[in-house]
C-alpha cells in the first residue's frame, strides 16, 4: 500500500447528517449526493416558503445551513478568473466547511475541478505559500496552463506540479515540475491520484484535495484541516 493509499484508507471520517429542505421538485444537488454515496434525507417546505436549502450536522452537532443554489458549484464549477469568483464564494466555503472529510465515491472530474478551483483561488488571494498539484498526468495539466501561468506570474507562490511524464510542459517562473518516469516505482500511484494542496501561506487558509481514480470514477475527500493538509502534501512530495 502506497503513502496516498494509506492516507485515504486511514482518514478519520466525520459523520455528516445531511437534510435537503425543498418543495416537491428534486434538486440537482440530490443527484450529486446519490451518485457519490452521500446519504441524505429530504424534508418538505411549502411552495411559498424559503428557497431550497441544505442543513448539515457533523458528529451530532449543528454545522450549518447553505442554499442549494450555492452548493451547486459542485455540479457546475465556476468559469470566472482567479480572484473573481465572489458569486460562488459561499458555495465553495460550504464545500470545505460543511463537507470536510466527507469521503465521496464515484466522483467525476467536474466536482474535482470545482474544489481544485477553490484551492487555487485561496492560494491566489494569499499570494504566497506553497501550492502542490498533481492531475495524474502532465498532459492533463496542459489544460490548466493558463491558470498556473497566472498564479506563477502574479504571486510569490512556490508551485509544484507532479505527474506522469507523458507530456513536456513549458518552463514557468516559480513552478517546479516533478515528472514521474516510466521506470519509477511511484508511477502507478501518481497516475491514479488527483491531489491539490495549499499550505495557507502567511495567514491564509490551508486546504487540500485527494482523490483516487477507480473503475467507477474517483473516491476521495477534501479538507481545510491544517494537519491533514500537511500529511497529504508529505505523501505527495515524497515522490
Say what the alpha-carbon torsion angle 34, 38, 44, 50 is, to the nearest 10 degrees: -100
Residue scoring higher pLDDT (59 or 86): 59
Average pLDDT over residues 170-192: 93
CA nearest to 134, candidates 1, 2, 227:
2
Provide φ and ψ at 217, rounded to 5°. Answer: 125, -140
- Residue 15: the pLDDT is 74
Tell me the residue range of the domain where 146 lies: 3-237
Checking phi first, is residue 83 left (phi over 0); if not, alpha (psi -120 to 50) or beta?
left
Checking phi first, is residue 110 left (phi over 0); if not, alpha (psi -120 to 50) or beta?
alpha
Average pLDDT over residues 15-27: 89
| CA atoms of 152 and 195, how far apart (whole Å) | 19
| CA atoms of 239 and 221, how far apart (whole Å) | 21
Average pLDDT over residues 146-152: 95
| CA atoms of 127 and 19, how far apart (whole Å) | 37
- Residue 83: the pLDDT is 57
Residue scoring higher pLDDT (75 or 166): 166
Q: Which pLDDT band, with edges at 50, 70 and 90, does 190 fall under?
A: very high
| CA atoms of 47 and 100, how far apart (whole Å) | 31
| CA atoms of 176 and 2, how far apart (whole Å) | 23
Q: Which of 60-64, 209-213, 218-222 has the lowest mean pLDDT?
A: 60-64
Residue scoring higher pLDDT (211 or 9): 211
Is the model's pLDDT at 129 over the cut of 90? yes
- Residue 162: the pLDDT is 97
| CA atoms of 131 and 74, how far apart (whole Å) | 22
Residue scoring higher pLDDT (97 or 219): 219
- Residue 227: the pLDDT is 94
Name the domain count of the chain.
1
Average pLDDT over residues 218-227: 92
| CA atoms of 38 and 56, how far apart (whole Å) | 12
Average pLDDT over residues 1-24: 85
> CATH number of the domain that 228 lies in?
3.30.870
Amino acid at each position: 500500500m502506497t503513502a496516498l493509499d494509506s492516507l485515504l484508507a486511514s482518514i478519520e471520517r466525520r459523520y455528516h447528517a445531511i437534510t435537503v429542505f425543498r418543495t416537491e421538485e428534486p434538486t440537482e444537488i440530490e443527484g450529486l449526493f446519490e451518485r457519490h454515496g452521500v446519504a441524505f434525507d429530504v424534508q418538505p417546505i411549502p411552495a411559498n416558503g424559503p428557497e431550497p436549502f441544505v442543513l448539515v450536522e457533523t458528529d451530532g452537532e449543528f454545522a450549518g445551513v447553505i442554499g442549494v443554489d450555492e452548493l451547486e458549484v459542485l455540479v457546475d464549477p465556476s468559469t470566472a478568473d482567479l480572484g473573481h469568483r465572489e458569486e460562488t464564494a459561499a458555495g465553495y466555503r460550504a464545500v470545505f466547511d460543511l463537507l470536510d472529510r466527507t469521503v465521496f465515491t464515484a466522483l467525476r472530474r467536474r466536482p474535482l475541478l470545482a474544489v481544485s478551483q477553490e484551492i487555487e483561488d485561496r492560494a491566489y488571494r494569499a499570494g504566497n505559500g506553497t501550492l502542490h498539484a498533481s492531475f495524474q498526468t502532465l498532459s492533463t495539466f496542459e489544460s490548466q496552463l493558463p491558470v498556473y501561468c497566472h498564479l506563477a506570474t502574479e504571486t510569490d507562490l512556490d508551485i509544484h506540479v507532479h505527474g506522469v511524464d507523458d507530456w513536456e510542459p513549458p518552463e514557468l517562473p516559480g513552478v517546479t515540475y516533478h515528472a514521474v518516469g516510466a521506470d519509477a516505482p511511484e508511477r502507478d500511484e501518481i497516475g491514479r491520484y488527483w491531489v491539490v494542496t495549499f499550505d495557507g501561506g502567511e495567514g491564509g487558509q490551508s486546504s487540500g484535495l485527494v482523490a483516487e481514480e477507480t473503475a467507477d470514477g474517483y473516491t476521495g475527500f477534501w479538507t481545510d484541516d491544517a494537519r491533514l493538509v500537511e500529511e497529504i502534501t508529505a505523501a505527495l512530495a515524497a515522490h
